[in-house]
Structure 1
Amino acid sequence: MPTDCISYPETNYFTPLILDYLSERKELDEFYTRFPKIENFEAQINEKKKSYDHSIRKDLVKVLNDQYSELKISDATQANIEALESGNSFTVVTGHQLNLFTGPLYFLYKIVSTINLTKRLKQMYPENDFVPVYWMATEDHDFEEINFFNLNGKKFKWNNADKRAEKTAVGGLSTDGLDEVFKLFSAEIGGGENAEYLKDLFKKGYLEHDNLTDATRYIANEIFAQYGLVVLAAGDKRLKKHFIPKLKNELTEQVSYKQTTKTLEKINELGYSIQVNPREINLFYLTNEIRERIIEKEGHYFVHETEITWSREEILQELNDHPERFSPNVMMRPLYQEVILPNLSYIGGGGELAYWLELKSLFEAENVTFPMLLLRNSALLQTAKQNDKRERLNISLQELFLKQHELINRKVRKISNIDIDFSSQKEHLVTQFQHMYELAEQTDESFIGAVKAQEVKQLKGLDNLEKRLLKAQKRKLKDEVERIAELQNDLFPNRSLQERQTNFSEFYAEYGEELIHKLMEELDPLEANFKILTFGK
């Protein structure tokens, strides 16, 4: 089962900001503290050890033990939970939404990257312990982003969801209605030992747990327990109380808005797109029924689209009494994470790292250590037959990532028995017209416009002839074109990266535990390449 890789720029799927970050562009230095190299973690460990409030560890371990109390957990996970009480233990975190049936493949890649980094750190710094943490986005309320998954080219959607799904956080949603999704999944996945494992996994996850948080914890624990993964739902009051000072600052001083606004101006000046824009208050008010924005006007506080209001004194009292009701949005959640965890590094996708790069000044203002930002591993999974087909079609790995029309045009030009490239004719035409421009300047400059119009017309004519010839050759080479398109469509569903579309069940049904083992062996989070993993013979 060979493994290949290409560089991230060659994939054409990553933004300029992320590519420049990976290449350590000097202009981005001010947006992070340390680049994620193994040797840089020593300074990160020392800084976090000094700045972290170690008294939080006891509450963290109590919360985790309570959250795992109904689950059978591995010795490795239990040891990691207990290790968190020690001042020499640190975390590596990845976060993910509570996607139905785990959602796209990169759910696995994020967690595998996180586990593998803790292994590398333990080898390098054996005097410390390193715990992989999956931070569940239980307080997210974008139900439309998580209520479906794709399997075998079909979309499976949760239609009979909790009536609160559009109004409050997804973590507390009832799993009622998922029996229908499970029936459809079971029919689609078929039979066999691996398929039966998946059915059992999702049946116990969704049909034997009352809410989405507990179901997702169960599933993640079952897949990764042997690797010591710790799954955390951070909405517990015992953890939120440690964030009260920062929440108070957000309510009264609007710290995140003031700090990140300056950073966004700098990012914009460098020519990058802004990932997330801050609000004046980056908090929601969260209950079992709603998760709505908190707004301040003239010293009074309101919950958007409700009748709930407070004076300044009243909202601060509410904060002290019920910190669990104050939910950070995307700008504040990273700060909360780094306050309550002894964390060294956050591992996420390109979009996540883009908004983390907006936050360093906020962390500095709040005297919280900024974590090292690491791009999660990315991979394309293919069968040996697909790889053989690619080689027979003489498609390079880099070409495989081209837009389909670009790939087909390139291959048709390459395999055609006639020359479809009119570049030399166009160059010759431009040279001829240059002589005409000189004549016009020497005789009557008013003819320059006429010469230009004729040049444009004739160049356009050559373009049209080239396109018609290419189209004709595509028809002539129809079988070859169809094979190219079929291969790329199989590997890039919906013309997108496979990892952003396909559910892991599609591969697990075929390869079983070998899938997880292969990912654990091949995905090195400190190796900045896009992996192509081949399965089968």
Structure 2
Amino acid sequence: MVSYQNSGYFSKIIIDYLNQHQDLKSFYNRFPSLENFKLQLEEKANTYNHDYREVLVQALRNQYQEVAISENTKNNIDALQDKHTFSITTGHQLNIFTGPLYFIYKIVSVINLCKQLQLEYPEHQFVPIYWMATEDHDFAEINHFQYHNTKLQWNNPEASGAVGRLSTQGLDEVYEKFCNEIGSGIHATYLKELFKQAYLEHSNLASATRFLVNELFQNEGLIIVDGDSKELKQLFVPYVKQELMQQISYREVSNTITKLKDNYDIQVNPREINLFYIDNNLRERIVLENDVYKVNNTTIRFTAQELEQELENNPEKFSPNVILRPLYQETILPNLCYIGGGGELAYWFELKSNFDVQGVTFPILLLRNSVVLLTEKMQKKIEKLHLTWNDLFLPSTLLSTQKAKQFSKFNIDFSDQKEHLKKQFNSLQDIAARTDKSFLKALKAQEKKQILGLEHLEKRLLKAEKKVYADKLKRILAIQAILFPKQSLQERVSNFSEYYQNNGSLLFTLLFNHLDPLSQNFSIILLPN
């Protein structure tokens, strides 16, 4: 079992968070544990505006009008009207056909945590939420997915503005390529039909993604929220107005960054105004220059009074950026916990003081589950080569070196010899100190030369042994390349379709059975095919 902390794939800030390092504790509210959710429940119940529940439920019903939903999802939407119902949320971009595997893992983590909390606190109800990042405008990040070694990409040179509003025109070409790649078979047929129904039978990317995710998770009662909603943004108007007129978030987040930057890399930086103006294919920053509010790269201009009027009349045209989007989410949802990846949690740590000043409860932050999928055939190869998971998580060059040393009949590590050499030279330093200083300098130069000589011999011997065991090392690295494609985590590269094609719904059954949201270890899941 490999912990997140020891995997080599997480940043210092995430490792310190998982270890509950004292220096980081002021940047989050509560660490994720079943016990801490009781306090989070009490705080959210006291600070959340329960009048928002009716607006939220009605907005969701409107968003689901053209989607066939399960009884579980319908019941969960209805349950949000009750003050004893709370949500667990994850968010993600609208990647084509879900994009990398971790999209799936985030949602499974949310659903499984709701189940755990339901058992622990039966007097409450917990509903899983996927927040669609419909207002994001980074088309290049979402316009493709990887099927085995083939990148299937949606080419749309005219794509601009909020991605959720993009027409699905052109995705028929991706569909044709996908059909050619995936071939035939019962599960392949299902996946092709799923893609077709989602992207060829829906007019924009938001509705296509809602259909797709609903099809995959509706039996679990997942609720899909689109924040690009006039009704929901109406609830957020006071915070938008404050952002426009006082720029509080810029001050608070900047102060937090000052405290974080000495120890950690900064994930995002705030703007003076952390809002975009959106309309049709437009999503541009709002900037304040000489008391005039301008929409960047356009001729649109507002006085303060005109902008307030525009906000009152058309709140849907004001879109929060990465700094304000979490505040928007936590304002309108009765949410307890946000589940995200390492990069997401890193920027959430920058936001707590802004939440405090705004009077909005900061959610519990939980690192999503991480998984490695492998087949029984691959497992047998690993066992035959006597590999451990700690081996496989190593960088490929280090893995190759360690295994060559392990296989060799000789001791390739010359550490003992180098240490012995250093002791010999140390004993000569007393003599050198009593003679000419130039002798001391010559002694140090000779020591360095001989140490480098040993290191050179060590490298030559290692290189020779790698040739001796080349075939075995090649097989090891081939296994690692499959499990860690492109020297990255499988979940950051591969799409669920290549595993669903052989295993069908069993893939999801295994994920739900194995993923423990409160665990800090990688889940290693064995697939029969």
Global fold match (TM > 0.5): yes
Q: CA deviation at 1:447?
A: 2.2
Q: What does residue 221 of structure 1 align with?
A: 214
Among 404, 425, 428, the residue aligned to 2:420: 428
Deviation string, structure 1 residues 493-535 (Cα, Å, up to 9, x no partner): 0110000000000100011100000000110101121111111
Q: What does residue 401 of structure 2 align with?
A: 409
- Give the aligned residue type for 1:330: V
Please, which moves more after superposition, 512-521 or 450-459?
450-459
* Amino-acid identity (%): 52
- Give the aligned residue type for 1:200: E
C-alpha separation in 1, matches of 2:71 and 2:97: 25
Q: CA deviation at 1:416?
A: 1.0
Q: What does residue 281 of structure 2 align with?
A: 289
Q: What secondary structure does 1:11 align onto? A: coil
- Give the aligned residue type for 1:203: K
- Runs of 4+ in structure 1 over 4 Å off: none
Q: What does residue 105 of structure 2 align with?
A: 109
- Give the aligned residue type for 2:489: L
C-alpha separation in 1, matches of 2:469 and 2:409: 11
Please, which moves more after superposition, 472-481 or 168-177?
472-481
Please, which moves more after superposition, 502-511 or 57-66?
57-66
Among 116, 137, 144, the residue aligned to 2:140: 144
Please, which moves more after superposition, 450-459 or 321-330?
450-459
Q: What secondary structure does 1:149 align onto? A: strand
Deviation string, structure 1 residues 371-425 (Cα, Å, up to 9, x no partner): 1101110010011121221122121111110000100100010011222111112
Among 20, 32, 35, the residue aligned to 1:24: 20
- Give the aligned residue type for 2:81: E
Q: What does residue 66 of structure 1 align with?
A: 62
Q: CA deviation at 1:340?
A: 0.6
C-alpha separation in 1, matches of 2:310 and 2:443: 77
Task: Map 1:204-283 onto structure 2 (within 5 A).
Answer: 204-269=197-262, 271-283=263-275
Q: What does residue 163 of structure 2 align with?
A: 170
2:4–2:15 contact (8 Å) kept in structure 1:
yes
Task: Map 1:49-64 onto structure 2 (within 5 A).
Answer: 49-64=45-60
- Give the aligned residue type for 2:294: F
Task: Map 1:63-462 onto structure 2 (within 5 A).
Answer: 63-159=59-155, 161=156, 163=158, 165=159, 167-269=160-262, 271-462=263-454
How large is the RMSD of aligned CA atoms in angstroms?
1.1
2:432–2:440 contact (8 Å) kept in structure 1:
yes
Deviation string, structure 1 residues 13-45 (Cα, Å, up to 9, x no partner): 011111111111122111111111111111111
- Give the aligned residue type for 1:297: E
- Give the aligned residue type for 1:251: L
Task: Map 1:517-536 onto structure 2 (within 5 A).
Answer: 517-536=509-528
1:153–1:493 contact (8 Å) kept in structure 2:
no
- Give the aligned residue type for 2:9: Y
Deviation string, structure 1 residues 315-374 (Cα, Å, up to 9, x no partner): 111111111111100000000000110101000001101111111100011000111101
Q: What does residue 507 of structure 1 align with?
A: 499
Query: TM-score, normalization: structure 1?
Result: 0.97
C-alpha separation in 2, matches of 1:266 and 1:462: 45
Q: What does residue 468 of structure 1 align with?
A: 460
1:162–1:173 contact (8 Å) kept in structure 2:
no
C-alpha separation in 2, matches of 1:299 and 1:14: 43
C-alpha separation in 1, matches of 2:449 and 2:307: 70
Q: CA deviation at 1:153?
A: 1.5
Q: CA deviation at 1:436?
A: 2.7
1:112–1:520 contact (8 Å) kept in structure 2:
yes
Q: CA deviation at 1:212?
A: 0.5
C-alpha separation in 1, matches of 2:430 and 2:379: 55
Q: CA deviation at 1:162?
A: 6.2
2:5–2:18 contact (8 Å) kept in structure 1:
no
Q: What does residue 41 of structure 1 align with?
A: 37
Unaligned runs of 5+ in 1: none
Deviation string, structure 1 residues 442-478 (Cα, Å, up to 9, x no partner): 1112222222222222211211111111111111111
Q: What secondary structure does 1:305 align onto? A: coil
Count residues with an aligned counterpart: 529
- Give the aligned residue type for 1:69: Q
C-alpha separation in 1, matches of 2:476 and 2:71: 48
- Shift in CA distance, 237/162, structure 1 to aligned 2, threshold 3 Å: farther
Query: TM-score, normalization: structure 2?
Result: 0.98
